[in-house]
Chain A
Amino acid sequence: MKTGTLILTVAAQMLVPLQILFSLFLLLRGHDEPGGGFIAGLVVAGAFALHQFVNGPEATRRLLRVDPRDCIGIGLLLGVGSAFPAWWQGEAFLTAQWWDVLGFKLSTPLIFDIGVYLVVLGSVLTAVITLTEVDKDEA
């Protein structure tokens, strides 16, 4: 269902990209400063929920390209996957591993954070989109 409010449509057009950018910022700086996967996931879920309020659930599904439920699966896979590199190095399970790739510091905590990000994004969006679709079916 479209609400068709001009103010909301224009505001969403400006807010959604900014909010996604802000969530990436929160995600990437999460290791040393406040932020991290969970809050970044909430912010990006908020962005997509706003898009869904304006354009309807079908448009948001098209924008996401993957089913939100698949996001949960990929996120959990990444979270579990980040636990194994420490094992291969002969260290304790889930010990943080750091790699230096072309000047960027990559690490298993970052992979774990991305996993949390996708799980939060997927679960919140599954709830919001399903609620809207059920609501529409009943009306």
Chain B
Amino acid sequence: MQILIHLSFAILAISMVLCFVRLVIGPSLPDRVVALELLSMIIVGIIGIHALQSDETSFLDVAIVVALMSFLATVGFARFLERGGRRDD
């Protein structure tokens, strides 16, 4: 079980780095928005695994709130892109 948890942490950490690379190099604004959304989903995953590891259920509420807020941020960004905000490609 411990090995599985550490393995999941490692995989999520690697995907976080890859996401961050996409966030930095872009190249277009929608790419960056998707990278941010994915980053927050990875954070939700990390919180979930940490809740498993520490046997503390209240971390799951944190995951719920982070997921809700990131969903909202994505909707806001999508609206902004739809309206044709300043494109920094």
Contact = CB atoms under 8 A, between A and B. Distances in A.
A3 interface: yes
Contacts of A43: 65, 68
Secondary structure of the A side of the interface? Answer: helix
B69 A35 contact: no
A47 to B, nearest CB: 8
Contacts of A119: none
B79 A39 contact: no
B75 A8 contact: yes
B68 A46 contact: yes
A53 B69 contact: no
Given A26-B61, A34-B58, A34-B61, A19 B68 contact: yes
Interface of A: 3, 8, 19, 22, 26, 33-35, 39, 42-43, 46, 49-50, 53, 135, 139
